[in-house]
Amino acid sequence: MDKEKKYSIKTEQIAGFAKALGHPARVQIMQFLTKQEECYFGDINDELPISKATVSQHLKELKDAGLIQGTIIPPKVKYCINKENWNYAKELFKDFFSQKIYVVKCECNDIEK
C-alpha cells in the first residue's frame, strides 16, 4: 500500500524557488535583474554566453516560479524582478537556513565516494 506524502505549502514553495535558481544562467539573470529597474530581453541576452533560445527558456523558468515578471511591449519583452515574490523567497530561505541543527556526531565525511 503506497502512502501518499504531503508537503507543507512553504516546503513546496522553497523547493520551487530552489529549482528555479538551480542553474548558473538563472542565477546570473537574477543577479543582473537585481541591478536594473527593468530591462529588455536583448539586454539580458547580451549578458549571457548562451543562445537566445536558451535565454528564453531560463526566463520562462524564472517567470513560472514567480521570481520575475515580463511585460510585452511589441516587439519587445521587458523583464524585472517580482519584488513581492523576491522578498517572500528571501524570507523562506532565511527561515530555512537559520534552523538550528543538532549533530552529536557526524561521520558523513568518512563515507567513500
pLDDT of residue 30: 97
Q: What amino acid is encoded at 103 in this protein?
A: V
pLDDT confidence bin for 38, thresholds 50/70/90: confident
Q: What DSSP state is assigned to residue 110?
A: G
> Average pLDDT of the chain?
91
3-state secondary structure of 76: strand
Residues 47-94 have pLDDT tens digits of 999 999 999 999 999 999 999 999 999 999 999 999 999 999 999 999
Q: What is the number of residues in the chain?
A: 113
pLDDT confidence bin for 2, thresholds 50/70/90: low
Mean pLDDT of 15-38: 96
pLDDT of residue 41: 94
- pTM score: 0.84
Find the radius of gyration of the CA atoms of the chain. 18
Mean pLDDT of 10-36: 97
Strands 76-81 and 39-40: antiparallel
Strands 68-73 and 76-81: antiparallel
Q: Is the pLDDT of residue 107 over 90?
A: no
Q: What amino acid is encoded at 61 in this protein?
A: E
* Residue 40 backbone dihedrals phi, psi, to 5 degrees: -100, 160
